[in-house]
Amino acid sequence: MKIYFHLNLGGFSNCYVVANEKCKEAIIIDPGQITEKIIDNIESGSYKLSGVFITHNHGSHVHGLRTLRKIYTPKIYAADWEVAGNDTNVITGDGKVRIAGLTVRYMALPGHTADSMVYKIGNVLFTGDTISAGKIGTTNSSYSDFILRNNIDRKIFSQQDATVLMPGHGPPTCVGAEKLYNLDMVQITEKDEFSETPLSDE
């Protein structure tokens, strides 16, 4: 398996081409922008583009899908039907898809958005905006924040420490590093942070 990284300068989001060299097929995760380089990855490797996986329906992660569909006819997987209308293979909950000779495991991880999905291929997790190096996704309420943290703890931090995280924004990281250094996930009690020392009468 080969993973090609592409940066969408329009939204500073990450797009990934995952290629299976054995069967000469590939999938794309979050086509925020389709560039000549992405097409070159597919064509120069003589890959068939079999699938597209969307982590969540935000513009900087899906804008390139329309262009991509003018060139190829991949199956489209997302939790939001509006990504590609009737052409969307809607996935919910946790499960797996066998495509391009790869097993793509998917996990619903709402919080940042209601349709947020995380995809695991081998030892790599494609996390979208749920978690990135040193931070977690933004939320629109304290309840959504609680749900997101809880889901990250149960579904991402439960993975092996060496599991690689490929986020929707920023550099790659791994589960072990985020357990130790992701400040958004560190829970500091008020007692630890603001312990008071009684003032002396002297």
Per-residue pLDDT of the chain (202 residues; tens, 9 = 90+): 999 999 988 788 999 999 999 999 999 999 999 999 999 999 999 999 999 999 999 888 999 999 999 999 999 999 999 999 999 999 999 999 999 999 999 999 999 999 999 999 999 999 999 999 999 999 999 999 999 999 999 999 999 999 999 999 999 999 999 999 999 988 543 334 444 444 444 4
* Residue 64 falls inside a structural domain: yes
- Of 91, 96, 104, nearest to 25 by C-alpha is 104
Counted domains in the chain: 1
CA quadruple 96, 100, 69, 61: dihedral, nearest 10: 50
* Residue 202 falls inside a structural domain: no
* Domain interval for residue 48: 2-196
* Residue 168 falls inside a structural domain: yes
Give the pLDDT score at 187: 59
* Residue 65 falls inside a structural domain: yes
Strand partners, 131: 136
Query: Helix, strand or coil for residue 132?
Result: strand
Q: What is the pTM of this model?
A: 0.89
* Residue 187 falls inside a structural domain: yes
Give the pLDDT score at 197: 45
* Residue 201 falls inside a structural domain: no
How far apart CA 162 and CA 175 sit, in angstroms, is 6
Q: What is the CATH number of the domain that holds 149?
A: 3.60.15.10
* Residue 137 falls inside a structural domain: yes
